[in-house]
Structures are given as C-alpha cells and as structure tokens.
Amino acid sequence: MIASPDQDVNTLAALLTAFGGRNVLCVGDVMVDRSVYGDVKRISPEAPVPVVRIMRESSELGGAGNVVRNLAALGARCAFITAVGDDAAGREVGGMLGRLPGVEPYLRVSRRRETTIKSRFFSLDGHHLLRADRETVAALSPEGMADLERAVAAQMGQVDAVILSDYGKGVLMGGFAKTVIAAARKAGKPVVVDPKGADYSRYAGATVITPNRSELAEATGMPVDSDAAIVAAAESLRKKIGVDAVLVTRSGEGMTLLGAEAVHLPAETREVADVTGAGDTVIATLTLALAGGAPLPAAARLANIAAGIVVGRHGTAIATAQDIALALRQTDAAAIDHKLADRNGAQGRVMEWRRQGLKVGFTNGCFDLLHPGHVSLLRQARAACDRLVVGLNSDASVKRLKGNDRPVQSENARAAVMASLSPVDLVVIFGEDTPLALIEALRPDVLIKGADYTRVQVVGGDVVESYGGRVVLADVVASFSTTATIAAMKMGTT
C-alpha cells in the first residue's frame, strides 16, 4: 500500500507540537564528524591524486551523537549514554554535548579506546573527495559495561522512549543491547533501533528497527531490488528476530514500513544532496512521535518528511521542529492540489477507488461563502460513502444562477477551500447550470443533497438510482444561508 498524499496534515502537526515535552534515552556509538573543505586546482606530481589546499574545517557530533543533535533540535530532552577515549576528540565530544539544550550526557571514558573521528574532505563546490576514519572497534570491558548498565537503570524510569544507535564501534556489543531492550520492555517503553552488522539477534524484542536497504540485504541475505522484495525481506527479518515492525530507509526512494501491513512512503524530496546522517534524523523523529502515542504509520510519515529535509542538505544535517512544520505546510498545499481534478481526471480517480472496493459519493453546490450548514452537509455526505466527490459550480455558472454580483469568491478560491476540508476527497468544477453531465460521467454510488430538497428535485437522482445507486437527503442546519449572509453584510449588520 502506498501512503496517501492527503493524510491528515493537522494530525501530523499536532504530533510535532508535542515533541517538546518528551524525554528520550539514547544509547550508542558517538563520533566526531569532521568536514574539511579545500581548493582543488591541480594533481599531485607524486601520484595521480588531487591536491587539496585546505580553506576551512568544521566538526559536528556524529553517529549516535547526531541522533542526540536531532532530538535537541526537535525540542526534546535526552539522556545520552556512550563511551569515548581519553583523548582530545573525546573531550571535544563532551564540549559539543554540553552546548546542546536539554541533553544530559553520560560518557564512559576509557584509556583503551580511541574516540571515533570520521574526516570527510570536500572541494569548495561540495564534491566529496575522501573519507578517513580513526576508531576503535571493540566491546566495552566488563567494568565499562556494568557502568553503563547502571546509568541505563538510573534513567529508565524517567524517559518516554529508548533509542539504540548502533554504529558497530563497541558500545552495544557483548550483550549490552539485549540488556537495554529487556529493561525498556519491562518498563513499558518503546525501543527503536538503528542496527548494524549481519546478526540482528541482539535486537530481539525491540519495537522498531530501521535498517537501510543495504543493511536489510546484509541481515537477511535476500534481494531488495523492488518493493515486493523489500517487503519480503523485512517480513522475514521481523519474524526471525521478533520485533514489532521494520522501517526500511531507501535514500532518495523514501521508506517502506512493515508492521501490521506494508506501507510505502515516497521520498519527500526530489533532489538528494547528501544522505549522511539521514538515518539519525529518521530515528529521532520516529521515536519522538511514538513516545507521544502516535500510530506507527503516522510516526513513519513524519520521519519520512524529516528525512526529506536532511537529504536535501550537505553534510551531517539535522531537521528542526520549524523545518518539519514548514514542510508540513508545503505538504498540505500539495495535498490540496491533489484533491483538484477536471472531469477526465476525476473519472480516472473514481475508477481507481472502485477497483479498491470503495463506495463513491457525490454532492454539489456553489459553496460561495462557507458556513456551518455546508460543513454539516459535507460531514453527513462523507459518512454515507468511502470517498466524497464535490461538484463545484464555475464562476460563470454561479453568475447565471445567482446574479452578476456573485460569486463573492472565485472558483479557484472556492475549490481550494473545499479541498482543504477533511470530509472532501476530490473537487471538480463544472460549467453547466446543473451537475447532471458530471454525475453521468462519474456514476457515483451515493448522491447526497440537503433535505431542503425533495427526492424528485435532486438533479441526477433518477440516473443514480437507475444503476442501483441511492439518494441521501442530509439534515439541514437551520438559520444559515450564503444569500442571507451577503445581504446582511451589505446592510452592515454583520
């Protein structure tokens, strides 16, 4: 199933506003992401490689640290448990964490570890030239693991959800991942895992795991070259390790969620600049939505929107709550456009709904100045069907029916208002005085009009009943009339 583009944006926005009250425990491998930019104008005489004249450098928290950055950017509080080396990079990590609002870090410092540093070299125009890593890949000592277990136990009762951000450097090795998941499930907290490696048995019991496509292939040994193949691999993995759901991130192709059913989420951006850190943004957003009680498909949709923001940016980027709110407004505008169609387009949409076994309803009107009577009609109409089509009189049609001073709002404005209403699934403007031709073209299963009409007065009623459809007369809300409202405005009484 492909996620509907007109999913209720208001619901997603409400989830976003609740992020600020959430508290998350993040456990995983922290690192320093260092970006080095330079001028590249010649090839080295010593070897066929470019010579980079370094112009500037920057450092950010990477790995699980980037998850924490995203949580802070989204307004949440975060307890962060990780391990670093007794070195300059470890102290740099501590300093960067200390500058993040709402973050309480617990750093296990070890002289036997080297803090991971990923150095990426870029030309000044953004081309990625090289990556160089410094790291220790080893499980924590028994003493180190016991120390982190005590830190986890101290935080578990205070958080709403738990994230395991596994970058394979050692923090979640040696049974520690299993320990954290068991503690979280005992406390009734959702656990979201960004996995690493081929053996996912250590994540058994998690709520959601979020592999990317290549990680899914590595973990299952199955093909992942199509939607169907990804669903099959994700279902195999879900059953094998005993997790509630698998969310597969697919870079520029969006995501696939395998829970109670399979849902494909198309990418929310058309241009991918850099996928670095996108998985960190996904897991932070997904976890905060789940912590707020969101259904998994809605949480995944919000995470997909956040991912679309960061993959459009260079480097280890984050998505703020304001970024996502803006993207939601743009999505809302796109959803409104999706609900507008001409007669031919409407026929195609209705045919597709019928193939899905959905009952199609139809109502019509000028809907010049929207009032509670209109809203009541639309709600009753939507309750009588699975998908509601609204036929909207064109400006020329309204003038012929109502007079030269009507409509007050243009057909485009009226169509946009109609399309923004949740009971409405499709809006079609028609130029005739009656919707008869449109009804004959769409052949709705249910025709709905207000009870101020009698059955014989309903245009197209006989057509709909001739092929087995039915006519519904909706209750009318008294004392509301567009004509009366306009008259009162002219008299200055409103």
Q: Distances in Å between the alpha carbon of 122 and those of 38, 53, 185, 450? A: 6, 11, 43, 65
Fill in the DSSP letter of residue 356.
T
Question: Distance (Å, rounded) from C-alpha 141 to C-alpha 103?
Answer: 26
Q: Distances in Å between the alpha carbon of 46 and those of 54, 96, 129? A: 18, 38, 18
Q: Distances in Å between the alpha carbon of 296 and those of 51, 59, 70, 465? A: 48, 34, 19, 41
Fill in the DSSP letter of residue 3.
P
AA identity, residue 93: V
- What is the maximum span of the chain, computed from C-alpha positions, in angstroms? 92
Q: H or E stretch including 304?
A: helix 296-310
AA identity, residue 475: D
Q: Does the active-site annotation cover 244?
A: no
> How distant is the alpha carbon of residue 179 from its chain centre?
30
Structure tokens, 14? 């409400």
Q: Please list, in sequence order, all residues whose beta carbon lies within 8 angstroms of the beta carbon of residue 265, skipping any fewer than 6 positions away.
A: 3, 254, 255, 256, 257, 300, 301, 304
Residue with tokens 């950017």: 73
Question: Distance (Å, rounded) from C-alpha 140 to C-alpha 27?
Answer: 13
> How distant is the alpha carbon of residue 202 from its chain centre?
27
Q: Please list, in sequence order, all residues whose beta carbon lies within 8 angstroms of the beta carbon of residue 476, skipping any fewer than 6 positions away.
A: 373, 376, 377, 450, 451, 452
Catalytic residue among 29, 274, 280, 368, which? Answer: 280
Query: N- to C-terminal Cα distance for the chain?
Result: 48
Question: Distance (Å, rounded) from C-alpha 59 to C-alpha 34?
Answer: 4
Residues with catalytic roles: 280
